[in-house]
Chains A and B, each alone.
Chain A
């Protein structure tokens, strides 16, 4: 699971109002190289929740992203885009869990695939 996916996931349990972002409990982190594409990254930047990405990236062992939302001039820079690229697309949670921030319910991640299926009493 890429951090882009983590950034798009929220707890889906019935009644939960603050289900984003899910807390990451990493057990195994891997890196997979992806072709660098500035246009895609600039497009995605506007859709990303920055704080969620920066925090998740840190938990995943990559602390190169600024805590504050970067200025537009910074976003255009190659140096920034390469870090953003790495955090967003190349760092994968292979094994571990995603935890609902409101209820503490754990969603397991196995072989890079989060399992968001709910029990009957959670739907």
Chain B
């Protein structure tokens, strides 16, 4: 039997809440692709920032399911309608997450620091004028400001703070967000990165990238002393070639 994910007919909706779309499906596909690894990871605390309809956090809870009873789930959203719709979607699937209406993870950052083993984020990534970012309604689900990076750049340090030593982050980006630059930025914080899903639709090219704390990566300021390229360095070269190939394909279209 294939692993269960959230069923669209059971996903609740509201005119002010973003409904599951290609980006949501890409993120859940990434979680499905890594299902065995996620189960072996035994995450204790899982979290989604910006849960919207609840499609992703519900799917995560179902994917980890009864084989990972140890997991406790948090989900946040800036939009009060979204946390309510997430609650309904979770309930319709018989799973539970603790919900908070808050900006990113405000209120949790002090006490939950270094405790989250698994984080999933589908951020507002669409390039928009800066003044459209962070409204309380539907547009907060996509409005990402310049290059779609305004909210992403606020989320990344929060994720770094909340993730545990063994913490993994699955995050979705648009090609316009410059995911390579994001990976290099995360590398400076000691994170390895890998593309789990890449998908081009008529409108956009999406990447789901997994980040993890890689002890072999030199944190910024520390010069690498060993000669030659380390394994993570090779990993990043690979990532770079993958992403530039994608960009190339895009420009041809």
Answer yes or no: B115 CB below 8 A from chain A CBs: yes
Question: Given the known A-B contacts A20-B110, A20-B111, A111-B87, are A4 and B98 also in contact in the complex, defined by CB atoms under 8 Å?
Answer: yes
Q: How far is the CA of A40 from the CA of B73 in the complex (A)?
A: 13
From B99-107, B145-153, B231-239, B245-253, the one touching the partner chain is: B99-107
Question: Given the known A-B contacts A39-B70, A40-B44, A43-B44, are A113 and B101 also in contact in the complex, defined by CB atoms under 8 Å?
Answer: yes
Closest to B77 in A: A113
What is the 8 Å Cβ interface bit string for chain A, positions 28-45, against chain B (1 contact, 0 not)? 000010110101100110
How many of A's residues come within 8 Å of B, CB to CB? 31
Q: How far is the CA of A4 from the CA of B87 in the complex (A)?
A: 17
Answer yes or no: B69 CB below 8 A from chain A CBs: yes
What is the 8 Å Cβ interface bit string for chain B, positions 143-185, against chain A (1 contact, 0 not)? 0000000000000000000000000000000000000000000
Answer yes or no: B194 CB below 8 A from chain A CBs: no
Q: Is there an interface contact between B70 and A37, defined as CB atoms closer than 8 Å?
A: yes
Question: Given the known A-B contacts A5-B74, A40-B44, A43-B70, are A117 and B102 also in contact in the complex, defined by CB atoms under 8 Å?
Answer: yes
Q: How far is the CB of A29 from chain B (nearest CB, A)?
A: 16
Name the A residues within 8 Å of B44 (CB-CB).
Answer: 40, 43-44
Q: How far is the CA of A44 from the CA of B108 in the complex (A)?
A: 16
Q: Is there an interface contact between B107 and A9, defined as CB atoms closer than 8 Å?
A: yes
Name the B residues within 8 Å of A107 (CB-CB).
Answer: 107
Answer yes or no: A114 CB below 8 A from chain B CBs: yes
Q: How far is the CA of A32 from the CA of B90 in the complex (A)?
A: 14
What is the 8 Å Cβ interface bit string for chain B, positions 17-28, against chain A (1 contact, 0 not)? 000000000000
Q: How far is the CA of A20 from the CA of B100 in the complex (A)?
A: 17
Which residues does A use to contact B, with CB under 8 Å?
1-2, 4-5, 7-12, 19-20, 32, 34-35, 37, 39-40, 43-44, 47, 49, 107, 111-118
Which residues does B use to contact A, with CB under 8 Å?
44, 69-70, 72, 74, 78, 80, 83-84, 87, 96, 98-103, 106-112, 115
